[in-house]
Amino acid sequence: MLVYPTLHYQNGGIKINTDGATTVPGLFAAGECEGGVHGRNRLIGNSTLDLFVFGRRAGRAAAQYAKEAKQGSLTLEHVRQWQRELERIGIAESRPISPLLLPDYARRMPDYLPEYSRQVLAAGQVKLA
């Protein structure tokens, strides 16, 4: 069996207040995506504190926010604003994103996954190393 080191826990994340609210009105976060209560380093344990405590707090705050929020008209103006911004900086909306912008390993992954045969994974390991 091959064993590789991997990311155990992401330190950092979305900045929230004590109720899980972000700086974007109406957007709440909890669990692995938020910055966490452990500060700059969490050496051991798991994120149950982040998940259970702030998940509950964020859920309650989000429910209260939703009760008090005024529903506006649904439009796609935000999409049009984004399209205008892309055009302003010279990126046409119909222009596809080139796969060449992806890191090399991301471009190669479809060649080796989701096949799980020993030979295919070994070939992928050599190519990605």
Angle (nearest 5°) at CA 23 between 15 and 20? 55
Phi/psi region, residue 13 (left: phi>0; alpha: psi -120 to 50; beta: rest), is left
Whether residue 114 is preceded by a cis peptide bond, meaning omega within 30 degrees of 0, is yes
Averaged confidence pLDDT in the chain: 75
Higher per-residue pLDDT: 49 or 112: 49
Residue 7 has pLDDT above 70, yes or no: no
**Residue with structure tokens 């149950």?**
48
Tokens linked to 8: 């155990």
Would you say 26 and 65 are in contact if contact means Cβ atoms under 8 Å apart?
yes
pLDDT digits (tens, 9 = 90+) for 63-106: 999 999 988 887 888 888 888 888 888 776 565 656 666 666 66
Q: Where are the domains of the chain?
A: 1-71, 99-128
pLDDT at 22: 92
Q: Which two tokens stand for residue 46?
A: 């798991």
DSSP helix, strand, coil percent of the chain (3-state; round to 5): 45, 5, 50
3-state secondary structure (DSSP) of residue 34: strand
Confidence (pLDDT) at 60: 96
Contact yes or no for 120/112 (Cβ under 8 A): yes
Q: What is the pLDDT of residues 54-64, one digit of tens each?
A: 889 999 999 99
Q: Is the pLDDT of residue 15 over 90?
A: no
Contact 124, 112 (CB under 8 A): yes
DSSP 21: B
pLDDT at 2: 64
Query: What's the mean pLDDT in 30-59?
Result: 73
pLDDT reading at 110 higher than 60: yes
**Percentage of the chain lying above the pLDDT 90 cut:** 19
